[in-house]
Amino acid sequence: MKSLINSHPMHHLKKIVIGAAIFLSVIGVCTNTVTASSKNETIKQNIQTLQKSDQRWIQVNLATQRLTAWEGGKPVYAVTISTGKQSTPTRTGSFKIQSKHKSTRMRGRDYDVPNVPYAMFYQGNYGIHGAYWHKKFGTPVSHGCINVAPNHAKWLFNWASIGTPVVIHQ
């Protein structure tokens, strides 16, 4: 029989720490899966509710890089967009337009863009706005915002009001 008196206490501590780390990793994976699943369900339910209303709302499909403006269950305008790159993704969820600016300056760690047209912010610095500096619509290139060609951004800006729901999903 092996004596525990001569065994090193750190050896047992390492086993406990490794076991706990594996356990917590498994819990983390399961929790993230459940959280993502319930978030997706909430988004689906919000879309269904909005489609049954007569309310104006905006749907952003990240997978297809399409934005659709709706009046209840009727699509009234659809455009190709550019959302966030993999390193700076566009957040999914249900939001509401909080502020509108005909023109604004947008700054970040590695960008500073003046005169960004027709910006509508729905969460902090995340917004839908015109992008005159690229023509890569249909490809994720932004820092998390939803880029729209300026003429389409103008139409959306004039159509939507503060409080208009914005639903963003994969």
30 annotated active-site: no
Q: Count CB atoms within 10 A of the CB of residue 65.
A: 19
What is d(CA 149, CA 135) in angstroms, rounded to the nearest whole number? 8
pLDDT category of residue 34 using cuts at 50, 70 and 90: low
Domains of the chain (ranges, CATH numbers) = 49-169 (2.40.440.10)
pTM: predicted TM-score of the whole model, two decimal places = 0.79
Percentage of the chain exceeding pLDDT 90: 76
11 annotated active-site: no
> Among 11, 30, 129, 169, which one carries the catalytic annotation?
129
| Cβ–Cβ < 8 Å for 106, 94 | no
Helices (H) and strands (E) in the chain, counts: 2, 9
Residues paired with 75 in a beta bridge: 70
> Among 8, 11, 145, 169, which one carries the catalytic annotation?
145
| Cβ–Cβ < 8 Å for 111, 134 | no
Q: Which two tokens stand for residue 71?
A: 């009046």
pLDDT tens profile 81-99:
999 999 999 999 999 999 9
What is d(CA 121, CA 26) in angstroms, rounded to the nearest whole number? 37
What is d(CA 70, CA 56) in angstroms, rounded to the nearest whole number? 6
